[in-house]
C-alpha cells in the first residue's frame, strides 16, 4: 500500500516554535511513533506531508524510505493529501495516518487494512463518551453514509458517540477523483478529507470500519497537557507489559522507558528509574531508585544502587554499582566488580573482582583482576590536547589520593603508597611511593580568627 502521514499543522496550542509533530513522547517525536508503526506494514511508498516549521520536519525525519510533500498554505486535510498524490502508486490503496496520533497499534491498522482490501473505503472509528470536537460517523441502516465535522453537525448528530479517528484507507484512483472535486464550503473554509465519504457512497464504493482495542490508540495531541497525558498512558502500557513478564516494579506509575527495555527473570526496579535507548537487564538484577540507564547491558545478579547514571556501558554478573556512581560511554565492567559512591568510569575496562569504592575517576584505563583503587584516586588521562591510557595489572593496590599520569603502567601485584603521583611505570610486586619527607614544625601556631 501507499501510506500518507499528515504532519503539516502548526499546533498553536502547543505554544512552541517546534512543529507539533516533533514534540516527544518517551523520547521519540510523535510523528516518529507513527512512522515506526507505519513501517510495520511494509508500505510501497511512505509520504510525510509537512508545512509549518519549514524544513524542521524533513530534517528530523530524513530517511531513504520517506518522501516529503510540502503543504503551503494549509487548506485542510483534503488539500494536504492532494500534495502526496505525485508520490503514490495508483495501483495500490492509500492509507492515511495523522502525525499527531502516536499510540495507534500495528494490529489495529492491520485490521483496518484487511477489512478494506483493495477496493473498499475503510475508516478506523472509535466510540467516545465525550465526542466533542470530533467528526461524527453517520450511519444509515448500519452502513456509514457520511462523516460530519463537529462544527457542521446538527444537534442530533452531536449526540452520536462514534467518531472518525482520521485514519482511513481507500483505492488511490478513486481518492484522486474525489479529491479533485472537493469543496471548501463549510464553517472552516477548508477542504475536508472526510468529504470523500459522501462521494464514495455516491459512487457505490463499499464503506467498512474497524475499531482499535483501546480508546487511547486514537488520541491525538493538541496541547502540552494532552502530550503529558499521552506520555503517562504510554508509560503505563510499558509498565503493564513488564509486570506481565514477571518484572517487579515497586511503583508502576514511576518508571519511564524511552526506548527498549528487555528484562530477564526476577528483576526488581525501584521508583523513578529512566531507561533510554536499548537496555538489557539479566536475571536477578536489582535497579535502585532514580537511576538513569541508557544503551547498556546489565548482567545477571548485578546490583545497581540508587542514583546511578549508566550510559553506553556494560556491567558484569554480580557487580555492585553505586550509589551515586557514573558509568560513562565505554565502561566495561567484568564479574563482581564494585564501583562505589561518587566514582566515575569512562572508556575503561575493569577486570573481575576489582574495586573502586569511593570518590575516584577512572578514565581511559585498563584495570586487571583483583585490583583495589583507593579513595580519591584519579587517572590523569588528558594533557590538554591528547588522551592517554593507564594500565593497572592484576592484584595491584592503589593507595588513596593517588594520581596516575598517563601513559603509565602499574605492574602486577604492585602497591602505590597513599598520595603517590605516578609519572613513571611502577614495577610489579614492589611498593612505589612519591611524596615529600614528612616534617613536623615545632612551635607552629594555628591561625586564630580575627575579631
**HSE value, Cβ hemisphere, 13 Å, CA-based, for 283:** 1
429 is in an annotated binding site: no
The Cβ of residue 141 has, within 10 Å, a number of other Cβ atoms equal to 5
361 is in an annotated binding site: yes
With b for 16 or more beta-carbon neighbours within 10 A and e for fewer, the 321-349 pattern comes to: bbbebbbbebbbbbbbbbbbeebbbbbbb
450 is in an annotated binding site: no
Contact 255, 273 (CB under 8 A): yes
Strand partners, 287: 269, 304
**Catalytic hit among 23, 52, 150, 358:** 358
Backbone phi, psi, residue 431, to 5°: -90, 130
435 is in an annotated binding site: yes
419 is in an annotated binding site: no
164 is in an annotated binding site: yes
For the record, the C-alpha cell of 360 comes out as 575516584
Q: Report DSSP state, residue 437.
A: P
8 is in an annotated binding site: yes
For the record, the C-alpha cell of 17 comes out as 516554535
149 is in an annotated binding site: yes
7 is in an annotated binding site: yes
The Cβ of residue 18 has, within 10 Å, a number of other Cβ atoms equal to 14
Q: Report DSSP state, residue 14.
A: G
CA angle 231, 240, 30 (to 5 degrees): 25
39 is in an annotated binding site: no
> Active site includes 358?
yes
Torsion-angle region of 284 (φ positive above 0: left; ψ -120 to 50: alpha; else: beta):
left
Looking at 380-450, list the stretches that DSSP marks H as alpha helix, in order from N- to C-terminal side.
none
185 is in an annotated binding site: no
368 is in an annotated binding site: no
100 is in an annotated binding site: yes
111 is in an annotated binding site: no
Q: Residues within the annotated binding site?
A: 6-9, 20, 71, 76-77, 100, 135, 149, 164, 222, 328, 346, 361, 372, 375, 381-382, 400, 418, 435
User: Looking at the annotation, which residues are catalytic?
Assistant: 358
Q: Residues within the annotated binding site for Mg(2+)?
A: 100, 222
Q: Residues within the annotated binding site for UDP-N-acetyl-alpha-D-glucosamine?
A: 6-9, 20, 71, 76-77, 135, 149, 164, 222, 328, 346, 361, 372
Q: Residues within the annotated binding site for acetyl-CoA?
A: 375, 381-382, 400, 418, 435
Amino acid at each position: 500500500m501507499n501510506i500518507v502521514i499528515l504532519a503539516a499543522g502548526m499546533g498553536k496550542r502547543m505554544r512552541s516554535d517546534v512543529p507539533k509533530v516533533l514534540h516527544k513522547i518517551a523520547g521519540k517525536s510523535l510523528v516518529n511513533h507513527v512512522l515506526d508503526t507505519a513501517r510495520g506494514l511494509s508500505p510501497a511508498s511512505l509520504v510525510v506531508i509537512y508545512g509549518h516549521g519549514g524544513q524542521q520536519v524533513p530534517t528530523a525525519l530524513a530517511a531513504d524510505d520517506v518522501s516529503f510533500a510540502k503543504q503551503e498554505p494549509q487548506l485542510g486535510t483534503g488539500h494536504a493529501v492532494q500534495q502526496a498524490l505525485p508520490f503514490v502508486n495508483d495501483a495500490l490503496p492509500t492509507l492515511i495516518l495523522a502525525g499527531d496520533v502516536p499510540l495507534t497499534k500495528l494490529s489495529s491498522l492491520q485490521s483496518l487494512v484487511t477489512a478494506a482490501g483493495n477496493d473498499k473505503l475503510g475508516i478506523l472509528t472509535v466510540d467516545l463518551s465525550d465526542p466533542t470536537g470530533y467528526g461524527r460517523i453517520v450511519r444509515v441502516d448500519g452502513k456509514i453514509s457520511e462523516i460530519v465535522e463537529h462544527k457542521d453537525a446538527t444537534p442530533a448528530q452531536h449526540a452520536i458517540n462514534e467518531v472518525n479517528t482520521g485514519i482511513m484507507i481507500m483505492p488511490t484512483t478513486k481518492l484522486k477523483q474525489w479529491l479533485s472535486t472537493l469543496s471548501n464550503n463549510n464553517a472552516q473554509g477548508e477542504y475536508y478529507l472526510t468529504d470523500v465519504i459522501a462521494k464514495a457512497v455516491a459512487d457505490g464504493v463499499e464503506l467498512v470500519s474497524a475499531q482499535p482495542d483501546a480508546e487511547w490508540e486514537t488520541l491525538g495531541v493538541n496541547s502540552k497537557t494532552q502530550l503529558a497525558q499521552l506520555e503517562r498512558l504510554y508509560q503505563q502500557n510499558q509498565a503493564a507489559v513488564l509486570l506481565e513478564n514477571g518484572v517487579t516494579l515497586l511503583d508502576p506509575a514511576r518508571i519511564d522507558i524511552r526506548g527498549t527495555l528487555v528484562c530477564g527473570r526476577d528483576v526488581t526496579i525501584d521508583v523513578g528509574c529512566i531507561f533510554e535507548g536499548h537496555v538489557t537487564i539479566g536475571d536477578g538484577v536489582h535497579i535502585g531508585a532514580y537511576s538513569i540507564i541508557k544503551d547498556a547491558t546489565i548482567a545477571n545478579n548485578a546490583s545497581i544502587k540508587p542514583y546511578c547514571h549508566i550510559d553506553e556501558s556494560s556491567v558484569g554478573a554480580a557487580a555492585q554499582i553505586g550509589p551515586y556512581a557514573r558509568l560513562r560511554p565505554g565502561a566495561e565492567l567484568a564479574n563482581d566488580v564494585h564501583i562505589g559512591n561518587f566514582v566515575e568510569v569512562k572508556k575503561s575496562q575493569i577486570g573481575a573482582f576489582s574495586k573502586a569504592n569511593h570518590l575516584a575517576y577512572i578514565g581511559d584505563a585498563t584495570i586487571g583482576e583483583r585490583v583495589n583503587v583507593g579513595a580519591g584516586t584519579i587517572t590523569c588521562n588528558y594533557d590538554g590536547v591528547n588522551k592517554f591510557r593507564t594500565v593497572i595489572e592484576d592484584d595491584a593496590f592503589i593507595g588513596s589520593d593517588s594520581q596516575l599520569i598517563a601513559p603509565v603502567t602499574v605492574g602486577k601485584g604492585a602497591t602505590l603508597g597513599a598520595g603517590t603521583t605516578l609519572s613513571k611505570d611502577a614495577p610489579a610486586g614492589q611498593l612505589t611511593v612519591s611524596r615529600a619527607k614528612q616534617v613536623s614544625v615545632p612551635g607552629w601556631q594555628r591561625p586564630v580568627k580575627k575579631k
